[in-house]
Structure 1
Amino acid sequence: MTTTLAVANQKGGVAKTTSVASIGAALVERGHSVLLVDLDPQACLTFSLGIDPEDLEISVHQVLTRGLPAREAILATEDGVDLLPATIELARAEADLLTRTGREQVLRSVLDDLAADGGPAYDWVVLDCPPSLGVLTVAALTAADGVLIPLQCETLSHRGVGQLLDTVHDVRRFTNRDLEVWGVLPTLYDGRTNHARRVLETISETYDLAVVEPPIPKTIKFAEAPAAGRSILQTSRSSKGAAAYREVAANLAARAGMADPQARELA
């Protein structure tokens, strides 16, 4: 069974792409097979994993809009995750898909075909959604089992979460009734400030959502990782940020009811 997790927040700067790359790498460390899908035309996830989008001839754009089999565009990365990369061409996908019948289902269809093509199966597919609530985000939510919402521990970052939850409600109603909100992931957390601690304490009450723990600390190590084309789990393995994402990955695996492969072999 594959678990598909959308990581979404239409507000930029909340460590969404960092979270996708780090959670993916942490799941791989635990023995899971992971596919990351870059759905952001800015291609930050692709770049962060050591792949220059400008060097790519095929990407998720051709998969979504031209019917290219996903397996032909998937790349291996040094972090051990597989990646369905993005390029700036993806900016045209919103317009290309807008008038297409069943556009909300396009990514689900791609992932269904991937699972049925006889190639290696994935334990996890993690979707890095664009910072908007357009066609690509709705398609990701339609394809997902769950959605994780990274949220910066600052008051202003709360704005817009209600809109995302409204979109989730509509997706549940019309295209994916089984979609579940797995919770909020607090990011850029500075435990030294009273403000950050208060925001963390009120997140659960404000949105009536679970808080995925632990909060991800604010550290310069996250800014250094993309320049190396690796996740923080490789560039700063013993840092507090890497340790936090390892714990988050363990909690997500437990939430999915998915034992680590080593544990499955021993059972």
Structure 2
Amino acid sequence: MLIKTRGIVFRSIKYSESSVIVDIFTEERGMRSYLVPGVRRKNARISPGLLQVMSLVDMVAYEKSEKGLNRIREIKSAVVYQSLPFEVHKSAVGLFIAEVARKSIREPEENPRLFEFLFRTFQFLDQTALPIANLHLHFLLELSFHLGFVPGGAWSEETPYFDLQEGLFTSSKTASHQYLDTVTSQVLYQLLRCDYAQCHEVRIGRQMRQDLLDKLLTFYRYHIDNFPEINAHSILKTVLS
């Protein structure tokens, strides 16, 4: 069966001397893996540039199974990036977003709202001229909403701590749980209440930004079974420092 869909390239790995396997999150079928033969040859039918991580594509694919390798019949750019692949800071944030999304999405079926969120995230990152130092933090919070474990409650003087395990703002701490301190909890709540275009307005020092990133990834590990290490994490921290 042929399907026509938009997609976001999350990973591309060498399969043989001339072929690659790409993981693409598709609008119509969710996460899929595709074998693309001959793409590394000279005069390949499909340009290798279309299969780079973060690429936004329109494609026609042969759909055989959810778990096996499928084939791509046609593929072209859905959006031609103007800055994302060429600016170091944007590329670091984009690669982090792609890796977190790939390792967080466990359900194989389609999720149009999640797809649209991710598609627009990469578009915004490419197009924005605003500071992006907080964008990856806001992304993690937005993604948690789509995955079903967005932080609950609200920061206040009565509930000044964020419980990473329970995913709630709380009035007190227990020895068995991990918490954000009161200042970091308040910053987290500010990030929750803004959007991409506003998140740079939240004032966060460099050390707190790094600490909050570490804590949010811990938050993910509490709420996603066997959530793996994020390789782009250390690169992102270095670039944004």
- TM-score, scaled relative to structure 1: 0.26
More strand by share: 2
**Bigger relative contact order (CA 8 A; separation at least 6):** 1
Computing the radius of gyration from Cα coordinates, the structure with the larger value is 2
More helix by share: 1
- TM-score, scaled relative to structure 2: 0.28
